[in-house]
Amino acid sequence: MSEYRLFSAMFIKILLTVVLFGSVHSDRTDFAYNGFTNADLILGDLATVTHNGLLRLTNYTDTQKGRAFYKAPLHFKNSSTSNSTLSFSTTFISAIVPENPNFHGHGLVFVISPSFQFPGSFPAQFFGVFNSSNSGDPTNHIFAVEHDTGKDSGYRDVDANHIGIDINGLVSISSAPAAYFADGLWNNFSLSSGSPVQTWIEYNGVDMLLTVTVAPVKVPKPQRPLLSAAVDLASVFLDPMYVGFSSATSQLVDCHYILGWSYKMNGQAQALDLSSLPALPRITPKPKTKVLTIGLPIITGFLTLAAVSAAMFIVRRKIKYSEVVEDWEREYGPHRFRYKDLFTATKGFREKELLGIGGFGRVYRGILPSSKIEVAVKKVSHDSKQGMKEFVAEIVSLGRMRHRNLVQLLGYCRRKGELLLVYDYLPNGSLDKYLFDDKSTLNWNQRFNILKGVASGLLYLHEEWEQIVLHRDVKASNVLLDRNLNGKLGDFGLARLYDHGAGPRTTHIVGTFGYMAPELIQTRKVTTSSDVFAFGVFMLEVAAGKRPVHASTVSGEELVLTEWVFRCWKRGSILESSDPKLGGDYIKDEMEMVLKLGLLCSHPVAEARPRMREVLQILDGDAPSTELVSWNILERSEHYESLTSCYNFSMDFGFSQTTSVVESLLSGGR
């Protein structure tokens, strides 16, 4: 009987070994493509396989997406222990070829995802995988390795040429500038040079260690990886998952190619055969042949004849869609929109598409005919003979900015006496309607988040971008809200730029009454401190729910918001100035801090105002706020009372008549 039990135990042990071995063996999946002719792939959007076997994810079409995935999902969970993740290894060779070598758009990502489709995803910096709302959502269950050729400070990108490991969003858990290790040194190289780049991604499911190695295709695999991160993918991966690639273009376009791809579960991916890879398209133009040289005069004559015969038709169309295009504008390429496209997008600038009318123009909603992207088009009057070249150059520079709390300026168009600025469209419109419209309102938490967001955007403009940007028109009507009611500072039509370390230039006094710093009348030089002043008024506007100049509910007289809140503070009842629509439903310490910080930022003496970095630190709770803010307001209260009285004077006699009064007060020192 004992021998029978011993035999049974041995049989069961052998059977379990066979089952476990079979389960592990079944998880071994591998494939290798040296070119993609007849490859088993799922292609989406712009992705296609070219005649010579290149996998092309995108072409030179703006604001589009492209993706390609292996035909079937793969099992990443060990069938014997569902809580552990199998090891995997992959290598691929990619190339990013910009349309214009001087400008490049965004890169591509290797993706492991529960699905090969990403509904609601955005192009550009979102790679066709995420959008502004779901980036960072743990329910995405997405792992990606990005080859990013754009710098987005809102997502903490290290530079505009880096590799990053992403889990469920665009903020990388580990990233570094593109480089490979050889001869004891790190050697940097460009991801968007048009030359092939090889990437090795390896994950050890036992040690939970992920490594990423990159190098130009002719360089052997470096011994040291660029990125190494301890990450447990068991909570990220579902079972099964799809593996593949995704990329997208913006107004600046690139072609994204995959030349070869090898993949293996529980083992080392097969090395790619470099000699069998398909060739990339020729980047430089082919030399002219003798046939072309001889035939060119004939072709030119034919084209000239055709142009003359069609001249009347072209002239008639140009009258309708005529634009102002000078030679110096040719270099701006994707930043310049055709008037015809904007005319079509806004349905001829119909009144039904009108979003609003401001002091500097009318704003229309539109849908671009080629990309179907929603935009907002602002029409501004201009004099094309006065500084237009410098102004447009600044507009194009502003179009390169990337921050989650700034409305993206996509480009411009000029036609006759009009300048048209094209922005991202935000469906919830401007903040002022939520503050001053009785039909809708925002709770305190939403308002506080908007203030921190706009402060972050202004800090980026003042200190973190490649140049200093002076917005010059910070106010509630220029803060737009996205689908999640996050605040984005927009309308850069009055913005001015200058280099770090240089001083601002003398300029005309522009802006909105109630938000303009008093020193502008004396110095005529806008500075970052002028923007801080306007932001201070904006903070009071959000907290108090009142415009910078408003009528008293008791006497009906005109009150200046900064002076009214200051008086409430002096008599020890600053919370009385909070918005009655909140019904007292707010965090008292936060409300008091915002009101006091608003007073300090809108201080009439420029030197008393903090920098935006200090403002954001106080709003984030990273700096002691109440004592510092209260002391600075109290220290210069005499100047505050004297200077704020100028606003009452200006309402009675006109803004220009206050110049001598303010200048005399400022010249008295502090």
Out of 45, 166, 473, 491, which one is annotated catalytic? Answer: 473
Instruction: Give the residues across from 163 on adjacent strands.
Output: 147, 176
At residue 434, what are phi and psi to the nearest 5 degrees?
Answer: -80, -25
Residue 308 CB neighbour total at 10 angstroms: 9
DSSP string covering 629-652, please?
Answer: HHHHHHHTHHHHHHHHHHHHHHHH
> CB of 140 within 8 A of CB of 183?
no
> CB of 240 within 8 A of CB of 74?
yes
> CB of 399 within 8 A of CB of 410?
yes
Q: Find out whether the peptide bond into 119 is cis, omega within 30 degrees of 0.
A: no
d(CA 537, CA 557) in angstroms, rounded, equals 20
> CB of 600 within 8 A of CB of 629?
yes
**DSSP H or E stretch at residue 560:** strand 558-560
**If you ran DSSP here, which 8-state letter would residue 21 be given?**
H
Find tokens 């237009």 and name the residue. 388
Find tokens 């390609």 and name the residue. 68
| 473 classed as catalytic | yes
Q: Give the closest residue to 94 by CA, choosing from 282, 277, 284, 283.
A: 277
Q: Which amino acid is at 117?
A: Q
Sign of the C-alpha dihedral, residues 199, 200, 203, 207?
negative
For Cα atoms 183, 91, 96, give the angle at the middle one, nearest 5 degrees: 85
d(CA 161, CA 188) in angstroms, rounded, equals 10
Residues with active-site annotation: 473
